[in-house]
């Protein structure tokens, strides 16, 4: 997501520079001496960024159409998984992020669970973090789950 934002910002800057007249395009009455401070932005950018992009065959018919993949969102494409690390007893899945919520299910030790997001809840053995499960509307304490793949975003 950050890469997409930076790329979009860079493309917008290059497009703006292509539309805004620069000091080289203007015809001043008297030429001003060039200093390091008076350098224009196109002088500071690499040459390959200043060249206009050629339309591909896909976008030749509709140059303003942008391809957006609506299925691949940040949370769906980077699903996090965790392993239950309880000893001898099953992990309680609760209806909310805290020990005061009702137990709605259990997960046994060693089981791999899909994690949707994390939230703050009641204190459990050194942590206030709770993970919301992806496939069940329930929460488990982060103390008893070790994330094995991905990163868990905040709810």
| pLDDT, tens only, 2-44 | 555 545 665 566 555 565 555 555 555 555 555 554 445 555 5
Asked whether residue 26 is domain-assigned, the answer is: yes
Cβ(52)–Cβ(14) below 8 Å: no
Range of the domain at 135: 80-149
- Looking at the structure, tell me whether residues 86 and 117 fall in a common domain: yes
Contact (Cβ atoms closer than 8 angstroms) between residue 138 and residue 105 = yes
Quick one: pLDDT band at residue 75, thresholds 50, 70, 90?
Answer: very low
What average pLDDT score do residues 94-115 get? 95
pLDDT of residue 118 exceeding 60: yes
Do residue 95 and residue 44 come from a single domain? Answer: no
| Single pTM value for the model | 0.51
Q: How confident is the model at residue 79 (pLDDT cuts 50, 70, 90)?
A: confident
How many structural domains compose the chain? 2
Residues 84 and 57 in one domain: no
């Amino acid at each position: 997501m950050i890469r997409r934002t930076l790329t979009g910002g860079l493309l917008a800057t290059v497009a703006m520079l292509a539309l805004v007249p620069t000091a080289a395009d203007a015809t001043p009455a008297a030429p001003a001496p060039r200093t390091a401070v008076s350098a224009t932005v196109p002088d500071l950018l690499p040459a390959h960024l200043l060249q206009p992009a050629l339309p591909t065959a896909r976008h030749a018919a509709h140059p303003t159409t942008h391809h957006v993949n609506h299925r691949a969102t940040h949370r769906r494409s980077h699903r996090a998984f965790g392993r239950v690390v309880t000893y001898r007893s099953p992990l309680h899945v609760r209806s909310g992020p805290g020990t005061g919520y009702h137990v709605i299910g259990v997960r046994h030790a060693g089981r791999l669970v899909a994690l949707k997001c994390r939230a703050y809840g009641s204190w459990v053995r050194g942590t206030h973090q709770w993970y919301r499960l992806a496939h069940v509307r329930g929460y488990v304490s982060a103390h008893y789950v070790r994330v094995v793949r991905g990163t868990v975003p905040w709810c």
